[in-house]
Chains A and B, each alone.
Chain A
Amino acid sequence: MQITLIIGEDEKQVEVDEGKTVKNLLQMMEIPVETVVVKKNQSIIIEEELIEDGDIIEVIKVIYGG
């Protein structure tokens, strides 16, 4: 399935396997969960949430320097 992934200014289409969570996606991209807040379809969500086809996932880096 395909989702839209927004990180900062960067927006792209990404293929994701069924049954993956937002946390899995962050781990795949090597983004530390504890440094970001994630929105799914414009609402903040818990990282354990499942990703569904067509989702817009926005990763907001909120913690810098540790």
Chain B
Amino acid sequence: MEKCHKCGNTNTIVRRKQSGQILCQECFVESIQEKVLKDIRRQKLIEKGDKVLVALSGGKDSVMVLHILNNLRNRRIIDLVAVTIDEGISGYREEGVRIAAQNAETLGIEHRIVSFKEYVGRSLDEIMSDSNDRNACTYCGVFRRWILNKVAKEEGATKIATGHNLDDETQSILMNYLEGNIHNLTRIGIRSESKYEGFTVKIKPLREIPEKEIATYVLACGLPVHLAGCPYAGDSFRAKVGVFLKEISKEHPTIMYSTLRGFDKIKPVLKEKFSQKGSMGVCQECDEPAAGKICKACSFRLSWNQ
């Protein structure tokens, strides 16, 4: 029986593939919490007095973000509000919304549930029943960002925290690189740097935590989480890249870290050369930031009215 490398306990729950470290439940939970809080400090993701909006889907990643940021709230460093977006995906979303509410209630954190229906006029199911040209993730991503930004302003939030993990982030890097989407690459990072004041800064406290460690963390802590796959997810390019990265990680356990580190090194150069400066304006329809006269969300909405 192998022992915890920190305390010698024989009830071990993880072997970290990237380092070979073996840990028991208590030491694992503690080390992950410390790592995330350290990343927040070192990267200056949060300042004292911030009001942080947690985009809480009820899935493992966002539930973990909520619980870890609650440490900072308990120490009166920040204020928290949890926001769950109900996209309107029948038979799937209800459970996530319920679990999200349960987590917020347990911690005594203010919780808002906002729906696609109420904010954009149609549920995702309605959008998809009327569309065959785009996949659901395109609409979902555009509207979620738009709603989060709007709600952040309504709530007076100074930061938006999301649950993006190491696997998500390396997928985004590789996907955009493979597709030659260099402009999108310049926007990947632990925090958004939108200088335009209509955007609330977004932070990713779990950016260096592998997805499986997040799952192990929430299960070890006994947190209620919604473990189910979105029915619209399907066989996307992102999913293929994700499978490839997980497969190659088996023999090269540090590959996601090196992808991330390498990217963070070249990013300043990419930004200098490729980011589109000064092109952001205000949407004529909704006053949210827009690249042209009308933002992406409004251009979708306007197309329904024709």
Contact = CB atoms under 8 A, between A and B. Distances in A.
A45 B24 CA distance: 9
Nearest to B234: A65
Chain A, interface size category, equals 10 to 19
Nearest to A46: B15
A62 interface: yes
A46 B22 contact: yes
A46 B249 contact: no
Q: Is the interface of B mostly helix, strand, loop or mixed?
A: helix
A48 B2 CA distance: 10
A64 B227 CA distance: 9
Given A44-B25, A60-B227, A64-B230, A34 B216 contact: no
Given A44-B25, A46-B12, A60 B171 contact: no
A47 B243 CA distance: 20
A66 B243 contact: yes
Contacts of B211: 62-63
Most buried by A among B13, B229, B249, B250: B13
A54 interface: no
B230 A65 contact: yes
A66 to B, nearest CB: 2
Interface of A: 32, 34-35, 37, 39, 43-46, 48, 60-66
Interface of B: 2, 11-15, 22, 25, 60, 167, 171, 211-212, 215-216, 219-220, 227-230, 233-234, 236, 238-243, 245-246, 249-250
